[in-house]
Amino acid sequence: MNLAVAREVDGIRELLDSNPMVGARRDGSRRFWTGREEKLLRENYPGGGVSACLAVLPGRSAKSIYMRAGTLGLLRPGPDGKVHERQAWESSEQIDLIIRRTYQKSPSKGDIQKCAATCGRPRWWVSKRAVKLGLVVPRFKEPAWSEVEIEIVTENAHKAPATLQKMLRSKGFHRTETAIFVKLKRIGADRTDPNHLNANQLAGVMGVDRKTVSGWIAKGWLKATRREATATDDFWWIHRRDVARFIVENVAAVDLRKVDKFWFVDLLVHEGASPHAKAESKQAAILALAAARPDLNNTQLAAMTDSTATAVAVVKSKARHRKAVPA
């Protein structure tokens, strides 16, 4: 039979239930026990128990001290001066009946405490006995997240937890929506959708007011969808390819001097940014930058659009014939 921490006083259970602590809780990397703390625990626990250790171990709660002492095998003599083995609590038909009556409804912590006092058993034992009797569904800790699971939710963090749950299930993993949401929060995943913008976001990078964006949508120039039909806030949902199409087809309506140039180049040049072919997207980017920055030479334009100076010269030459840019 394993030895455990004996009761230091009759009220040790009450002390652990109240779980006092001196100072601020040790969070982050400071939550791990240090060699110095364990040394203090070994020096003070055998003589003074949890109460004596609270004063010398700031940031450690009574439960934390009690559990760590048990892990280290530290014992404190009881009132009789002897170290006792843990009480081997046993049940009976009468005790089981009392527990069943208590758990007929959803008992509170106080109800379980009263039941424990009536049975003459610790509260933790009553709770474990209720699980064994099938009165409470045991709580099982979910298995650790695998690298594959983390990769799936990280790459698709912008999607809804329900969608991520289906994606994980298709790969043979089973996680609740709550578990997925908590995991995304813990790993600090970026939940911004890389392929969509709302009206406020688009207005910010275009250098205009949100009402201007709403006007483009109302005129049918810019394709957008409503995220919620009854939404009263920013409910427009706009895909990047529709933004690219709008800019290419409505150059006169866009003041390129106000547009965020880095976002603009990324939108028109990179794969998937434009509904047209990549070559046409690059040509559109070159022409738009040439119109917005006439001071740039072909080499500079080529560097900003991931092209070559010769290709820029050809695009500008063709555009002049179509009178797209001034000679």
In this structure, how many other beta carbons lie within 10 angstroms of the beta carbon of residue 98?
Answer: 16
Question: Residue 72's pLDDT is what?
Answer: 86
Rounded CA separation 125/92 (Å): 13
In the sheet that holds 236-239, the strands lie side by side as 196-198, 236-239, 225-226
Question: Residue 236's pLDDT is what?
Answer: 83
- If asked whether residues 49 and 67 sit together in one domain, one would say yes
- If asked whether residues 71 and 23 sit together in one domain, one would say yes
- Cβ atoms of 178 and 186 within 8 Å: the answer is no
- Assigned token pair, 252: 């006169």
Question: Residue 231's pLDDT is what?
Answer: 44
Task: Find residue 198's DSSP bridge partners.
Answer: 237
Rounded CA separation 8/70 (Å): 13
Strands (E), the chain: 196-198, 225-226, 236-239
Question: In this structure, is residue 306 part of a structural domain?
Answer: yes
Q: Locate tokens 């709008």: which residue? A: 246
- If asked whether residues 19 and 72 sit together in one domain, one would say yes
Rounded CA separation 160/170 (Å): 16
- If asked whether residues 151 and 60 sit together in one domain, one would say no
Question: Residue 232's pLDDT is what?
Answer: 45
At 221, phi and psi to the nearest 5? -75, -35
- Assigned token pair, 154: 């990280």
Question: In this structure, is residue 173 part of a structural domain?
Answer: yes
Rounded CA separation 188/94 (Å): 52
- If asked whether residues 205 and 296 sit together in one domain, one would say yes
Question: Residue 96's pLDDT is what?
Answer: 92
Question: Residue 168's pLDDT is what?
Answer: 92
- If asked whether residues 111 and 205 sit together in one domain, one would say no
pTM: 0.37
Question: In this structure, is residue 326 part of a structural domain?
Answer: no
Q: Locate tokens 């995304």: which residue? A: 184
- Cβ atoms of 248 and 267 within 8 Å: the answer is no
Question: In this structure, is residue 237 part of a structural domain?
Answer: yes
- If asked whether residues 167 and 250 sit together in one domain, one would say no
Q: What is the mean pLDDT of each run of 10 residues along the chain (327 residues)?
A: 37 77 82 88 86 89 87 77 65 92 87 89 88 77 85 86 91 90 85 80 88 90 74 70 84 84 75 46 76 83 79 82 55
Q: Which long-range contacts (CB under 8 A, 24 or more apart) does 147-153 make?
A: 148/173, 149/173, 149/175, 150/183, 150/187, 153/180, 153/183, 153/184, 153/189
- If asked whether residues 317 and 211 sit together in one domain, one would say yes
Rounded CA separation 97/106 (Å): 16
Overall size of the chain counted in residues = 327
- If asked whether residues 277 and 219 sit together in one domain, one would say yes
Boundaries of domain holding 24: 1-88
At 27, phi and psi to the nearest 5? -105, 175
Question: Residue 9's pLDDT is what?
Answer: 41
In this structure, how many other beta carbons lie within 10 angstroms of the beta carbon of residue 201?
Answer: 17
Domain count, the chain: 4
Question: In this structure, is residue 142 part of a structural domain?
Answer: no
Question: In this structure, is residue 115 part of a structural domain?
Answer: yes
- If asked whether residues 220 and 181 sit together in one domain, one would say no
Question: In this structure, is residue 327 part of a structural domain?
Answer: no
State which of 187, 219, 254 marks the end of a domain. Answer: 187
- If asked whether residues 179 and 231 sit together in one domain, one would say no
- Assigned token pair, 206: 């275009």
- If asked whether residues 180 and 226 sit together in one domain, one would say no
Question: In this structure, is residue 139 part of a structural domain?
Answer: no
- Assigned token pair, 238: 């706009």
